[in-house]
């Protein structure tokens, strides 16, 4: 039963929210030890929430459109009275005094939070192996990674631990784990979903997005969390979500562009596997069969996205993470002087990948290298904005693979940062330009693991990604992915 169907049944009194919760907790008890999707399972507070939903229904009230639907929250979103760690020792045990806007909206909609999910520390990674509290495993094959950084949220949905998941996407951290775990994951337009209460990694890139087992549930979740928030100065004032209303509109006459530079052909970025290319081509054929007008298009600067991102994102991280100084909150390791205390705290509190990115970002922002590195990366970002604007004059949406490969074995790339970074080559461009993108499962690769196909659209056209995603999902379910 989908999240939408479950909520309808609970609101109608046909099922109890407590019963729904206990089913999910039983699945967590059975498999969490081998998967490690959660940093914290909030069993007691979840039961209180579920009981409150049932009490509202019994009293003749409406607990909200997600009544009794279980949600797994990435552990970089503030939850009042519940620890929020970003999977880092430097925040271990920190309890926020407020809720993120997304958390507040979901609670008001009747959702039941089953736990805080594991992630790459401060959302820096593509495999959820960089967590200070241990790696998360892919529930479809526990010898493989679930993707990252939102691997815990993706794994929790794939394993049936929660009906819905919430992640954050800075360079692909919702879409790539969705592809690896065979679920739907979506990155909204920058500013479409409030970032208030999301602990920052790259402030001009971060965006909260939904995970679900199908497109309809993902659309319903997106519509609930999106919308203007005056507490987030980057929030789009007049954005009105409407994904659920367009799911049955099809793609007849829609102009679909296949991005040459991200599709494995001549002039494409390197490293996209043939089986992933084959599934992406099959998805394109399915859209054409459904009436879409398909053509190959070029976004030349997309090949520069990876290089630009790994200057912009670390630069912003080096600024954002400066607040973890051992004074205001989180871990404190004492030292003889303030400087020694700062150094000891950060040495003990931050993991290797976080330290690597802080150093890279600080270097890129330093006086002697700012123009040569960070400044040039910003120019590439502007070039990408112009290239995407040009291509969207010709087509309505773009199609690419979500990730270059299927889920890879645990430990295979954890010691090679450059190989790991390439996992985000197809997803990073939309973060740099602030556009929406969705990953929808479309068959499996040669190893039997899921392949995700990505749909990109212009800024604020988030509903269009769901519309196309629904057609891809229907084709996959009908066997059109083979």
Which run of H or of E encompasses 315? helix 305-320
| pLDDT level of residue 482 (50, 70, 90 thresholds) | low
| pLDDT level of residue 368 (50, 70, 90 thresholds) | confident
Q: What is the mean pLDDT of residues 371-388?
A: 96
Q: What is the mean pLDDT of residues 431-448?
A: 98
**Domain limits of the chain?**
3-246
Percent of the chain residues past pLDDT 90, beyond the cut: 94
The CATH number of the domain covering residues in 3-246? 3.90.1300.10
| pLDDT level of residue 419 (50, 70, 90 thresholds) | confident
Assess whether pLDDT exceeds 80 at residue 392. yes
Strand, coil or helix: what is 389?
helix
Query: How far is the CA of 396 from the CAs of 106, 219, 261, 456, in angstroms?
Result: 31, 19, 18, 9
Q: At what angle do helices 3-11 and 17-35 cross, to 10 degrees?
A: 150
| pLDDT level of residue 479 (50, 70, 90 thresholds) | confident
Residue 462 in tokens: 């988030």
- Is the separation of the CB atoms in 361 and 310 below 8 Å? no
Assess whether pLDDT exceeds 80 at residue 468. yes
**What are the backbone angles phi and psi of residue 316, rounded to the nearest 5°?**
-70, -35
| pLDDT level of residue 480 (50, 70, 90 thresholds) | low
* pTM for the structure as a whole: 0.97
Per DSSP, the residues of 419-476 read HHHGGGTTTHHHHHHT--EEEEEEEE-TTS-EEEEEEE--TT-HHHHHHHHHHHHHHH
Pairing type for strands 293-297 and 255-259 reads parallel
Q: Which residues are catalytic?
A: 74, 149, 173
Residue 78 in tokens: 């503030």
| Average pLDDT value for the chain | 96
């Amino acid at each position: 039963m989908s999240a939408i169907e479950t909520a309808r049944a609970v609101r109608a009194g046909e099922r109890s929210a407590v019963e729904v919760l206990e089913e999910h907790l039983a699945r967590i008890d059975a498999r969490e030890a081998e998967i490690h999707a959660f940093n914290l399972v909030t069993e007691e507070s979840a039961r209180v929430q579920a009981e409150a939903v049932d009490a509202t229904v019994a009293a003749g009230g409406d607990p909200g459109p997600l009544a009794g639907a279980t949600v797994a929250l990435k552990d970089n979103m503030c939850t009042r009275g519940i620890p929020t760690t970003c999977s880092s020792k430097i925040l271990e045990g920190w309890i926020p005094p407020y809720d993120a806007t997304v958390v507040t909206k979901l609670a008001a909609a009747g959702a039941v939070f089953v736990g805080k999910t594991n992630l790459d520390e401060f959302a820096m990674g593509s495999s959820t192996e960089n967590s200070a509290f241990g790696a998360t495993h892919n529930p479809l094959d526990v010898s493989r990674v679930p993707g990252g950084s939102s691997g815990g949220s993706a794994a929790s949905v794939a394993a049936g631990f929660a009906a819905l998941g919430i992640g954050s996407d800075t360079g692909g951290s919702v879409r790539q784990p969705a592809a690896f775990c065979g679920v739907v994951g979506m990155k909204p337009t920058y500013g479409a979903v409030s970032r208030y209460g999301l602990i920052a990694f790259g402030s001009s890139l971060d965006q909260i997005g939904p995970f679900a087992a199908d497109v309809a549930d993902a659309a319903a979740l997106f519509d609930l969390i999106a919308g203007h928030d005056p507490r987030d100065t980057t929030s789009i004032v007049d954005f009105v979500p409407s994904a659920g209303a367009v799911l049955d509109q099809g793609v007849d006459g829609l102009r679909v562009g296949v991005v040459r530079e991200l599709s494995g052909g001549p002039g494409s970025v390197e490293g996209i596997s043939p089986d992933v290319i084959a599934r992406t081509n099959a998805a394109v054929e399915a859209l054409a069969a459904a009436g879409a007008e398909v053509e190959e298009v070029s976004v030349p600067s997309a090949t520069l996205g990876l290089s630009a991102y790994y200057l912009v994102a670390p630069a912003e991280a080096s600024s954002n993470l400066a607040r973890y100084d051992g004074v205001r909150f989180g871990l404190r390791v004492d030292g003889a002087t303030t400087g020694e205390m700062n150094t000891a705290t950060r040495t003990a509190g931050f993991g290797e990948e976080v330290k690597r990115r802080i150093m890279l970002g600080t270097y890129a922002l330093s006086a002697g290298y700012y123009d040569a590195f960070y400044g040039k990366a910003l120019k590439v970002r502007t070039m990408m904005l112009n290239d995407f604007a040009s291509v969207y004059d010709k087509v309505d949406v773009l199609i690419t693979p979500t990730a270059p490969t299927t889920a890879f074995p645990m430990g295979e790339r954890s010691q090679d940062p450059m190989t790991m970074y390439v996992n985000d080559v197809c997803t990073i461009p939309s973060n740099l330009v602030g556009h929406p993108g969705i990953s929808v499962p479309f068959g499996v690769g040669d190893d039997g693991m899921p392949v995700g196909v990505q749909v990109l659209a212009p800024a604020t056209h988030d509903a269009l990604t769901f519309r196309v995603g629904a057609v891809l999902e229907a084709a996959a379910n009908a066997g059109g992915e083979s």
